[in-house]
Amino acid sequence: MDSGIKVFSFDVDGTLVSQEFADCVWLRGIPEAYAAKHALSFEHAFEFVKREYDNIGENRIEWYNIRFWLRKFNLKIAYEKLFEKYEAEVKIYTEVESVLKVLKEAGYVLVVNSNAATEFIDFQIQPIRKYFSHVFSATSDFGELKKSNGHYAQVCEILDVKPQEVVHTGDHFVFDFLNPRRIGITAYYLDRSRDAMPAVNGNDEFLISDLNELLDAFELI
């Protein structure tokens, strides 16, 4: 592997942590709070809340903003309370901390690079935050809907590195694999389900099923 690599960048949901916490907040916590406020069944509240999510849609920045939704539904509850309620659902994948420790001790700069809002990122990565020098949220920090080519270019500029000096790993084929590769970043597509997309097209060496395979690729095992 290229010894010029300086930075390892990681997505969050599906990469460092499982999806359960975010799903609980959005699909259980908020509907439950709405149901309690309006004396509705959970099922009716869920249908209404989900429909409102869909009406906004993931192509608008508000879709990612929990403060927006609490205001929209007029819920007098702090998002921190919702987070605390489902704290037990934060699951950092088994191998994550040991992999970060090896990379950090090898002298690499580690960063988080996610579409998720900063509030969600910060809460979920607390036990492993010490390994990261920077935490980037496309939606909160850059006002972008998704991690685009331009987003990755901005991150490189902030870190004062060339794209060729960065490795990014994540579980979304477009946002974590194709987009960073378009500007010269070495990207790994993480498929924890081991159900690889055929569109990897001859780049199987960049398809991994857990983060330990990064260490193997960089001969750190």
Burial 104-125 (b: 16+ CB within 10 A, else e): beeebbbbbbbbbbbbbbbbbb
The number of distinct structural domains making up the chain is 2
Which strands form 134-137's sheet, in the order they lie side by side? Answer: 134-137, 109-114, 7-10, 166-170, 186-190, 207-208
Of 65, 88, 111, the position where a domain reaches its end is 88
1 belongs to a structural domain: no
Q: Verify that 95 and 184 share a domain, yes or no.
A: yes
Assign residue 205 the CATH number of its domain: 3.40.50.1000
Same-domain status, 30 and 137: no
pLDDT value of position 175: 93
**pLDDT at residue 201, as a whole number:** 59
What amino acid is encoded at 29 in this protein?
G
User: pLDDT category, 200, cuts 50, 70, 90?
Assistant: low
Residue 2 located in a structural domain: no
**Domain boundary, last residue among 68, 88, 108:** 88
Q: For 110-128, what is each residue's pLDDT tens digit?
A: 999 999 999 999 999 999 9
> Residues 195, 144: one domain?
yes
- State CA 46 to chain mean position distance: 24
Say whether both 62 and 95 belong to one domain.
Answer: no
Determine contact, residues 59/145, Cβ cutoff 8 Å.
yes
For position 145, what pLDDT does the model report? 84
pLDDT of residue 1: 46
**pLDDT tens track for 154-180:** 999 999 999 999 999 999 999 999 999
The range of the structural domain enclosing residue 60 comes to 20-88
Are residues 39 and 136 part of one domain? no
pTM: 0.91
Q: Determine what percent of the chain is predicted with pLDDT higher than 70.
A: 95
Identify whether residues 108 and 162 lie together within a single domain: yes
pLDDT in tens, 63-102: 999 999 999 999 999 999 999 999 999 999 999 999 999 9
